Each structure stands twice: as structure tokens, then as C-alpha cells.
Amino acid sequence: MEKRSFFGELVRGIWKDNPTFVLMIGLCPVLAITTSLKNGVGMAFAATFVLVGSNLMISALARFIPDGVRIPCFIVVIAAFTTIVELVTAAYTPELYKELGIFIPLIVVNCIILGRAEAYASKNPIGLSIADGIGEGLGFLLALVIISSIREVLGAGSLWGYQLVRWNEVTAIKPASIMVLPPGAFLLIGLLLGFFAWRKKRKAEKETAQGYAFQEGIVAEIESAERAKEVAKKEKKEEKSEESSGESQA
């Protein structure tokens, strides 16, 4: 088993196991609230808080929880943290609370959080679980920042609320408001997932190319040997069939 470090777990969650682009889980809030960068960042911090808190509690409590009622116990812990987030956002950032709306209570059923609790926090020590929580949270933040900034720039012509392009009769640039509507979200996530799949495939091809020169010789040898065998077999068969036909004629 490979050795795990705090920092390694943190980085793994951001890029290699990015929850949105690689694991493809917890997509509902990613698509729903990324109409502006502010919302995206707010959602990411809310989810990260719940993720780190629930990872911490679950990895601490895992050995006391019987296996049969594991999932309901995890859900109770996650729901408690979600309620904290909900009350805090409602009190201190009412605008954000209004924008995110139903998706704050829905952090409870976000697959990222229950998935990490089940797959990681319940089996690993507290320190690593916190690192995993922070890493996955930052990965989620990265995904939300990418998607929401693209959508805000293309759809509203602004970023973090600041107008980037002033449109009037002279410039005649109009934002494509489809990008802040639902179809734009689906289109963008489809293209981004496609991009990540393409990158992954290209990387795999590069890795095989490095070992290719060495493999090429072996492959060629095996192929030529097999071909020789087949030729030999065919010749034998032909001989046999000729013999048998000869016999039957006789």
C-alpha cells in the first residue's frame, strides 16, 4: 500500500480525483447555481465546510457506529453541519442565501459528501480525512470557479458583478443570455467533461508512446512468429485435405 501524506491527499482531491470533472458526482449544484462567480464561490465554501466537518466527525466516530445503521448515522452528521451552514448564511449573507435557495439544504444529499464519508472518512484517521475534505472541497471550488466564470462572462458580460463589456450601438456586443439559462449550463458541462476525457486519453496515449520503442520489437516478433505458425497450420491442413480427397477418389 502506498504511503499517504496530508499534503498528498490534499492535492489528489483538487486535480486527480476532482469531484466534478473526474468523478462526475454532485453535479446538481454545479449546474444550478453557477450563474455568477459569487454564487459559485459561496456554494463551494458552504459545501467545503460541510465536507470537512462531516469528514472530521465521521472519521472520529466511525469505530463506534455499527455497520447496519452506518448510512443514517452519516446522514444525521451531515444534516447537522448543513443546518449550521444554512443558519449562518441566512444570518450573515442573506443575498447569497436567497440566490442559492433550495441548494443549501440539498447539500445533505450531495453525493460528494456522503461518498467521501463512506469511501474515505470512515476508514481513515482524522488528519487524513480532514486533508481529503479540504482537497475535495478545493477541487469543487476549482470546478465551480471555472464553470461559473465562463457562464457569467459569456452570459452576462460581467465577472464578480463588475461589468466587463459595455454594450451600446457602437460596440454592438450583446451577451449570450442562453449561457445563464439552463441549456447553457448543460452544454458547458458537456463540453468540459469532453475536454477532460480527451486530455485523459491523450495522456494515456503519451505514456504508451514512451514504452513503444521497446515494445515495438517484441510485438513484431510475436506477430511474425504467429503468422509463421498459421502458415504452417494451413499448409498442413491443405496437405491433409488433399490426402483425404485423394483417398476418397481412390
219's grid cell: 510485438
How far apart, in Å, are the Cα atoms of 184 and each of 18, 40, 151? Answer: 22, 16, 8
Q: Which of 173, 181, 204, 228 binds other proteins (CB under 8 A)?
A: 181
231's grid cell: 502458415
Beta bridge partners of 159: 162
By beta-carbon proximity to other proteins, the closer residue of 115 and 127 is 115
Is residue 14 within 8 Å of residue 138, measured between CB atoms? yes
Site for other proteins in 220-249 (CB under 8 A): none
Q: Which of 10, 14, 114, 147 binds other proteins (CB under 8 A)?
A: 114
How far apart, in Å, are the Cα atoms of 182 and each of 35, 42, 97, 163, 187? Answer: 9, 20, 20, 22, 9
Q: What DSSP element (H or E) covers 158?
A: strand 158-159
By beta-carbon proximity to other proteins, the closer residue of 83 and 158 is 83
Q: Which amino acid is at 126?
A: I
By beta-carbon proximity to other proteins, the closer residue of 41 and 109 is 109
Site for other proteins in 116-175 (CB under 8 A): none
Residue 79 sits in the site that holds other proteins (CB under 8 A): yes
Q: How far is the C-alpha of 50 from the C-alpha of 243, rounded, in Å?
A: 80
Residue 80 sits in the site that holds other proteins (CB under 8 A): yes
**Residue indicated by cell numbers 465562463:** 150
Is residue 10 within 8 Å of residue 131, measured between CB atoms? yes
Residue 176 sits in the site that holds other proteins (CB under 8 A): no
Q: Which x/- pattern over 17-46 shows residues binding other proteins (rule: CB under 8 A)?
A: -------xxxxxx-xx--------------
Q: Which of 88, 119, 187, 225 binds other proteins (CB under 8 A)?
A: 187
By beta-carbon proximity to other proteins, the closer residue of 96 and 131 is 96
Residue 87 sits in the site that holds other proteins (CB under 8 A): yes
Q: Which of 14, 51, 108, 141 binds other proteins (CB under 8 A)?
A: 108
Q: How far is the C-alpha of 184 from the C-alpha of 73, rounded, in Å?
A: 38
Main-chain phi, psi angles of 52, to 5 degrees: -65, -45
Span interacting with other proteins, options 37-45, 101-109, 131-139, 164-172, rule CB under 8 A: 101-109
Q: What DSSP element (H or E) covers 139?
A: helix 126-156
Coil, strand or helix at 113: helix
Residue 198 sits in the site that holds other proteins (CB under 8 A): yes
Positions touching other proteins (CB under 8 A) are 24-29, 31-32, 71-72, 75-76, 79-80, 82-83, 86-87, 90, 102, 105-106, 108-111, 114, 178, 181-187, 189-191, 193-195, 197-198, 201
